[in-house]
Amino acid sequence: MRARRLTNALVTTAITLLGLVALTFFIGRVIPIDPVLSIVGEKATQEAYDKVYYALGLDKPVWEQFTSYTFKLLQGDFGTSFTTTRPVLTDLLSFFPATLELATLGLLLGVALGVPAGVASAYWHDKWPDHLIRIIGLIGYSVPIFWLGLVGLYVFYYKLDWVAGPGQIDVFFVGIVKPITNSILIDSLIGGHWDVFWNAFSHIVLPVCLVGYFSMAYLSRMTRSLMLDQLTQEYVLTARLKGANEFEVVVGHALRNAAIPLVTIIALSYGGLLEGSVLIETVFGWPGIGNYIASSLFRGDINAVLGGTFLVGAIFIILNQLSDVLYATLDPRTRELRK
């Protein structure tokens, strides 16, 4: 049974990834950007234009272009970036760790604040703590994150000078740390460069807080909904009648059962942070995958845009599948239904 479930999961993932490849490919053919002009420039001769046009295979039928594009992806070939003149995969491996660093720290902060806030909101349902937490969450969930980023930079960087400004690190520290993981915090710790670490930390703290606030707003709302359902179950009443204290009832029983679907929500939230990093990275000049995709789009670098979009989409799909597997592992009832 486990082998069959694993096979089904792999087939589903493969089909979904193929659909993602098709979607990104045809979007790249529909958007009004000429990849040839992005390479040769608008003042190029017709001869130069035609040479690049045929070299890119744009004269071939669309189905043949798609087949060639798919086989290249299977070999890890995302094409060459017109902007950096490097393989797109090399660029993605260089820029993605910064996004991973930002999203991971933001998610950890969001979980640390959002889950307890959601539990407290459900426990004090319709009382002032519940209303306060819901208002705070509503602001974080509804206000555009790029606007919060601009306000945060103005207040905490420009006015108060509590944090460093845009970018990942000051120019003075560039090139000091040897890139190992391409995460400046981890690499500076490995190399023992504490001055670089604290400088990088001062740069990342504000965007992490904003990403964490956005994540907290979503997770507190979902945790509250799950906990409200669990706190009305009969096993909660039974535990109270047996003399269990409130902490044991809420955390040991209700939250324990709510944690099973909450795992899936956190995994999808993580994928959303990786996927939705474009705005916050653009505001803070963060050298991540979101900023890379946005700048490539403005420059008409289709290979970079499609490669970045596919990478983020693939990670989201894989996280979704992993959350399903973890959900089935934690909930015995799900395993029984799938047999």
For the chain, the structural domain boundaries read 33-77, 89-338
Quote the distance between the C-alpha of residue 320 and its chain's center.
12
- CA-CA distance, 328 to 338, in Å (whole number)? 9
Tokens for 31, please give them: 């958007």
Provide the β-strand partners of residue 80: 87
Under 8 Å between Cβ of 249 and 240:
yes
- Residue 6's pLDDT is 65
Mean pLDDT across 281-304: 83
- Residue 227's pLDDT is 92
Under 8 Å between Cβ of 268 and 55:
no
Which residues neighbour 236 within 8 Å (Cβ) at sequence distance 6 or greater?
230, 249, 253, 254
Under 8 Å between Cβ of 35 and 82:
yes
Band of the pLDDT at 334, cuts 50, 70, 90?
Answer: low
- Residue 201's pLDDT is 92
Place of tokens 């945790």: 223
Mean pLDDT across 264-285: 82
Mean predicted lDDT score pLDDT of the chain: 83
Under 8 Å between Cβ of 133 and 219:
no
Mean pLDDT across 68-76: 81
Under 8 Å between Cβ of 87 and 80:
yes
Under 8 Å between Cβ of 192 and 173:
no
- Residue 109's pLDDT is 94
Mean pLDDT across 253-273: 85
Band of the pLDDT at 277, cuts 50, 70, 90?
Answer: confident
Distance (Å) of CA 133 to CA 105, 149, 163, 256:
22, 21, 26, 21
pTM of structure: 0.82
User: Quick one: 89-338 is in which CATH superfamily?
Assistant: MetI-like (1.10.3720.10)
Let me know the angle formed at the C-alpha of 5 by 274 and 265, rounded to the nearest 5 degrees. Answer: 30
- Residue 50's pLDDT is 77
pLDDT digits (tens, 9 = 90+) for 106-161: 999 999 999 999 999 999 988 999 999 999 988 887 888 888 889 999 999 989 88
Under 8 Å between Cβ of 153 and 255:
no
- Residue 204's pLDDT is 92
Q: Examine the pLDDT at 165 and tell me if it is beyond 80.
A: yes
pLDDT digits (tens, 9 = 90+) for 300-332: 777 888 888 888 888 888 887 777 777 666 665
**Rg of the chain (C-alpha set):** 24
- CA-CA distance, 121 to 106, in Å (whole number)? 21
